[in-house]
A = this chain, B = another copy of it.
Amino acid sequence: MTMNPLYFTAGPAATYPTVGKHLAQALQDQIPSISHRSNQFRSIYQDTFEGLKELFDLPAGFGVFFLGSATEIWERLLQNCVEEAGFHLVNGAFSKKFYDFAHLLHKKAFKQEVPFGQGFLPENINVHYKAEIIAFTQNETSSGVATPVETIHQIKEQNPGRLVVVDAVSSAPYPIFDFTKIDSMFFSVQKAFGLPAGLGVWIANEKCLAKSELLESKGMLTGAYTKLTSLWKFFEKFETPATPNVLGIYLLNKVVKDMLAVGKDEIRQDTDLKAIMLYDYLRESELFDVFVENPAHQSNTVIVANTRKPAKPIIDALAKKGFIIGSGYEKSREQIRIANFPATSVEQMESLIEAMQDLEEQGTGNRGQGTFII
């Protein structure tokens, strides 16, 4: 086992390489002690907003809000953007949880569901006529199924009067969304941004705000400090209603700037390259099979494979070699999950694939070392 294992887990995940440096600087500059009502904080918020605006090509009319997690954002979004009913595209554990949240919050919710491992084709999506929002989980962390952004954009074109909201927790900033065809997108920072957990980022446009205002005017419960009208009012002066995770926002700002310095196209190309390498290996492997059958739905950021032998000894053996990968989300399946986030380099992905190849050869007896039984 190496001293510093490499994390290929889908969240919490490997930290972005510059995080240690920024954390040291933050401590030196006493960022944890600054007031969230100071110019110093407002400038960090504004900087982060500008950075995210550039990274995501956000048009005017979008606000960026900081909450505790993407899970919290599910709740805040449903409270603020759904009066009666939403429509959820469910194809795994997390899209299902988002849908369940609606019921827990006493909203109506309709779903269209496909089996685990499958995605949605735009021609098959039948939006419920009562739906005020259409909720996509763009990247299903549980199954490794991604919804092509074109599908999301097309559904918005067909439903201009409905809010299209996108959970991009385990993919942002990889997918190139057209924010003129999306009303809200959100993520948490411990996935593809490679930051410590404890911060959710909610991006929403003025249509979401208008909906929230409408609900509030009808006397509906949209939240206390976290109602969108309150978040937005404070956002306009780059403040938050309550003390936020200031250090988390500071680190997000730094990593977004680092990503922009590398280049957003470069980061996406790197992700593509690493995904191709891994999928190519999995397809050729005798130990693994790519789980998601439709190539158009294979996620490039969370890659899931079936194992032809029990998954746990494989995962354990890789851990002993210093590679931490994820188990399958559904315990009944023999699967592995491998995150492919910007924090991981091409070289690191190569070394993981080599380790998997070694394991395969050992396991099939080609090397006859006999120390590893799978």
Chain A residues close to B by CB (< 8 Å): 4-5, 7, 9, 11-15, 19-20, 23-24, 27, 30-36, 67-69, 71-72, 74-75, 100-101, 104-106, 188, 190, 195-199, 221, 223-227, 241-248, 324, 326
Q: Contact check: which of B14, B36, B75, B198 meets A245 at CB < 8 Å?
A: B198
- B residues near A33, Cβ cutoff 8 Å: 7, 9, 12-15, 324
- B residues near A5, Cβ cutoff 8 Å: 30
A196 with B32: CB separation less than 8 A: yes
A198 with B12: CB separation less than 8 A: no
Min CB distance, A330 to chain B, in Å? 14
Min CB distance, A315 to chain B, in Å? 12
User: Given known contacts A101-B224, A198-B198, is B30 in contact with A188 (CB within 8 Å)?
Assistant: no
Residue of B nearest to A74 (CB): B224
User: Which 10 residue pairs are nearest across A and B when measured between Cβ atoms?
Assistant: A68-B68, A198-B245, A71-B242, A32-B196, A104-B224, A196-B247, A7-B33, A101-B224, A197-B243, A198-B198
Q: Classify the interface of chain A: helix, strand, loop or mixed.
A: loop
A36 with B12: CB separation less than 8 A: yes
Min CB distance, A114 to chain B, in Å? 24
User: Given known contacts A14-B33, A20-B27, is B247 in contact with A198 (CB within 8 Å)?
Assistant: yes
B197 with A75: CB separation less than 8 A: no
Residue of B nearest to A104 (CB): B224
- B residues near A67, Cβ cutoff 8 Å: 68
